[in-house]
Structure 1
Amino acid sequence: MSTFFITRNELEKSILEKDSYFLYRVYEYDEEKDKGKILKIKGELTKICTTPVNYKVILK
């Protein structure tokens, strides 16, 4: 499976609502057949989100 990105907001929401939070990822999608595989992850995403990759830039 490949790497994918989520937002800080998604990560924070998964922490706040860990008992009811689900992330669904569709991958290996075939447009012609309209089929793909689905990965369902329940709860906090902190276990799998270990590398911050986004930075806020403020120009003055």
Structure 2
Amino acid sequence: MLKEFHSPSGDSGQGIPPGRLTGGHNMMRFREQEVLIARYRVLDREVTDPLAASLLHIIILEL
């Protein structure tokens, strides 16, 4: 899951429906998701427990 975006001006963007965000907001969320996926992939490579590896793989696929 992605964290909710909060702009420097304090506006949380709650008045903007999802999918109606400006290009900058979409790019920021896309970048945050890329970083999150990369972190899970690193964990997936390092984990030795088969169950944990399977769960991490499922998480990555859902993101």
Task: Give the alignment's TM-score, normalised by structure 2.
Answer: 0.27
Task: Give the alignment's TM-score, normalised by structure 1.
Answer: 0.28
Q: Which structure has greater strand proportion? A: 1
